[in-house]
Structures are given as structure tokens and as C-alpha cells.
Amino acid sequence: MKLVKVCGMREAANILEIEQAGADWMGFIFYPESPRFVHEVPDYLPRKSKRAGVFVNASKEKICETVSLFELDLVQLHGNESPGFCDELSRTGIKVIKSFRVGDEFKEEEVEPYHGKCDYFLFDTRTSLYGGSGEKFNWKTLSNYRGNTPFLLSGGITLGDAEALKAFSHPKCIGVDINSRFEIAPSRKDVQKVKHFISNLKT
């Protein structure tokens, strides 16, 4: 497990610091209901870290417009987007991550129609909200995931989880997505915490 995505970024200085801390991907949330909603282009956007835009039930037109404006590398879909919608976006050339909420058991039938339509999956904790709850789910349930689509692990991951994450093994897990547990305030990340986490995870 090598890849670390830091989600919910917004402020230029913080973006630069988190990029320098070693984030592989950075997430920008374009969902107006989120306290981390990005309403304008920051003065700095990452140049080494890949840029992922997070959307919830947005139109294809709105997504494509934002991809162009922010020069996004990836689009992360957190709503009720259909396999057909994911496929349509993929055909525009953008990499697509589809998020799924995992509860007490992993439901293969929920993700199965999305194989071949998305580049990556993201498995987060099941909640009534769209997006992060800051809570963990039982990663062991993912032993029931036998698909070929690579995935990121998300949901309430903290600095203290680095060792457990190194012990977690799944052939399709490529990395983790961190957010609220590394914040000083919504969208503002604690740079030292992120740096320690990345260092711990990758050594």
C-alpha cells in the first residue's frame, strides 16, 4: 500500500505544504453542502500531486467544466451515479473513482456493475450522508471483494492507524484516503500529522 490521497483541500498555502509532505493525490470537494466546498480556484494548485475532484450527483457538463478549470487528473463520484454515467465520463479521457459505502458486510453486487466503467473504487464507511463521517468500518469485510478494480481505503483513518494499515493486505488495495482526522479546521490539514502518517505508512 503506497498511495496516500489527502482529501478536502482548499487553501493555497496548505495545499503547497501538504504536497511537500508527500501526498500522492489531493482531493478537492465540489459539493456545495460540504464544509470543505471549493468555491474558487486557489492561488496554488498541486503540480506533483495528482488532482482529484470530488462530486455528488453533479451533471456531466458541470464535472467536465470543473475538470477543465482546475486541470483535474481524476474525478471521484460520491453520489448515486450509475455505471453508465461513470462509463460516459471515462470515455472523455478522465480517470474515474467511484465511492461505495461499506457497512457490516461487503456487498459485491453493489460494485459488480461498475467494473470496467471506473478506474478505481473508494470504500468508505456507510452513513446516511454523502461523503465522510470520520468513522471507520471493519476492513476485514473487504476480504469478500474479489473484483479486479483497484481501490482506496477510506473512513476515519487517523495518524495511529499506520501500523494497522501496513498489516492490512488485499491484492487490489493501492492506498488510503485521509481527511477529517488530520484537520485543524475544515479543509485545513495539520501538516506535521500528515507528514508523520505518510512517513510511517511508507517505511
- 117-151 pLDDT per residue, tens: 999 999 998 766 655 556 788 899 999 999 999 99
Per the DSSP assignment, residues forming a β-bridge with 123 are 100, 153
pTM of the model as a whole: 0.95
Quote the pLDDT of residue 105.
Answer: 87
Quote the pLDDT of residue 104.
Answer: 85
Quote the pLDDT of residue 129.
Answer: 62
Gap between the terminal Cα atoms of the chain: 11
* Rounded (5°) CA angle 176-180-185: 145
Grid cell listed for 23: 501526498
Q: Which residues of 33-55 are buried (b: 16+ CB within 10 A; e: fewer)?
A: ebebbbeeebeebbeebbbbbbb
What count of other Cβ atoms lies within 10 Å of the Cβ of residue 150? Answer: 17
Which domains, from first to last, does the chain contain? 3-202 (3.20.20.70)
Quote the pLDDT of residue 62.
Answer: 98
Q: Give the H or E element holding residue 175.
A: strand 173-178
Grid cell listed for 32: 456545495
Tell me the C-alpha to C-alpha distance, in Å, between residue 135 and each of 101, 131, 150, 178: 12, 11, 22, 11
7 catalytic? Reply is yes
Distance CA 44, CA 19 (A): 11
Of the listed 118, 124, 173, 190, which one is catalytic?
124
Strands 173-178 and 3-6: parallel
Quote the pLDDT of residue 130.
Answer: 56
Low-confidence ranges of the chain (pLDDT < 50): none
Grid cell listed for 78: 460520491
